Amino acid sequence: MLRNYKIRLTENEWIKPVSGVIIIFIMCVIISPINDQGNLVFLKFENLANILRQVSENGIISIGMTFVIIAGGIDLSVGSILALSATITAFGVMDWQLGFFLTILIALLVSSFIGFLNGVITSWGKMQSFIVTLAMMTAARGLALYISNNNSRDIGFGLGAAPAIFKIFTTSYLGVPFPVYIFILATILFLIILRKSKFGRYVYAIGSNEEAAVLAGLKVKWIRTYTFIIAGFLSGLSGIIHTGQLLQGNPNDGVGYELDAIAAVVIGGTSLMGGRGSLEGTFAGVLIIGLLSNILGLHGIQKDFQLMLKGAIIVAAIFIQESGFRFKLLNIFNFNKKITS
């Protein structure tokens, strides 16, 4: 009995990914290129802040993806929702002259509504979320193209263009870009929701055993729908940041973002079967991907090699997660008896 308890402590889902981040960080420091002044390029404050800025879009999407996956679903439409939200944002401030806040409000409402549709069709239509969100991925992209007439919209400032406040997304405060604050804030907020709220418990419960959740009197259909609304909302938020950073709303952006988000969630130790996972892990997963891209970029390694390496790293990370790698290593060295007895 005692043994079981101890094993669980070491298997606490987020410990592995968080130690993974630390290991990879140290590795990055060691192999970092050195500049003319003899400083480590990787460790420069601007570089570290830049890493966070680069991962913030994927990071925000991954938060919502974590909720959906823990509840036992998957959301493939997040990239298209990002594109839709980015498009609405650009057209809102430029063509429609809705102003900053109203534009953002509409972009977030539309994104959340698409998440709501995902949830309703999955829950009440009794369909697999994979199929439903795959269809939504196509449909939302189509809507973005329809709104924009298949054109990207550049953001300009001044009279008859975007308000000056829109520059906030490209501004830094205390040396840290504004999107990073949104990313960190969103992570903390949803971390509290997942860990401390009633809703958070229900998310784990329906992902762990849907039948049991029904018999225990949970509103399974609504809980699942809420997770999709969160995913849609955060994808929309990410889309606004996307437009704000690029100063362009492009309906063809965000392709493949769903896979980056799923990768981050899974590297973070969340089970694709549902019921198990954490936002701490997802945060670590997002950072792992960001750190690796950054160090490869600093070494001038081309995009093609970066992608191949990224694929290998995802598989390796999941292998370590799923197989109880540590225990296997211990078995090899025959230490297991000491640990488990």
Residue of 76, 285, 63 lying closest to 193 (CA atoms): 63
Residue with tokens 């987020």: 14
* Contact between 218 and other proteins per CB under 8 A: yes
Among 209, 245, 248, 336, binds other proteins (CB under 8 A): 209
The per-residue DSSP string of 303-327 comes to HHHHHHHHHHHHHHHHHHHHHTHHH
* Contact between 268 and other proteins per CB under 8 A: no
Question: Which residue number, 34 or 212, has a Cβ lying nearer to other proteins?
Answer: 212
> How many residues does the structure list for the chain?
341
Q: In this chain, which stretch among 165-173, 204-212, 231-239, 310-318 interacts with other proteins, using CB under 8 A?
A: 204-212
C-beta separation of 265 from 66 below 8 A: yes
Among 42, 166, 169, 204, binds other proteins (CB under 8 A): 204
Give burial (CB, 10 Å; 0-12/13-18/19+) of 62: buried
Beta bridge partner(s), residue 177? 172
* Contact between 276 and other proteins per CB under 8 A: yes
In the bound complex, what is the minimum distance in angstroms from residue 322's beta carbon to other proteins?
14
* Contact between 8 and other proteins per CB under 8 A: yes
Q: Rounded to the nearest 5°, which phi and psi values hold at 162?
A: -75, 145
In the bound complex, what is the minimum distance in angstroms from residue 8's beta carbon to other proteins?
6
In the bound complex, what is the minimum distance in angstroms from residue 276's beta carbon to other proteins?
5
| Three-point CA angle 56, 184, 24, nearest 5° | 65
Give burial (CB, 10 Å; 0-12/13-18/19+) of 260: buried
131: tokens are 């199929």
Q: Rounded to the nearest 5°, which phi and psi values hold at 299?
A: -85, 5
* Contact between 281 and other proteins per CB under 8 A: no
Q: In this chain, which stretch among 104-112, 158-166, 192-200, 257-265 interacts with other proteins, using CB under 8 A?
A: 192-200
C-beta separation of 253 from 89 below 8 A: no
Among 217, 300, 333, 338, binds other proteins (CB under 8 A): 217
Among 1, 159, 174, 332, binds other proteins (CB under 8 A): 1
* Contact between 339 and other proteins per CB under 8 A: no
Among 159, 174, 198, 334, binds other proteins (CB under 8 A): 198
Interacting residues toward other proteins by CB under 8 A: 1-2, 4-5, 8, 196-199, 201-202, 204-205, 208-209, 211-219, 275-276
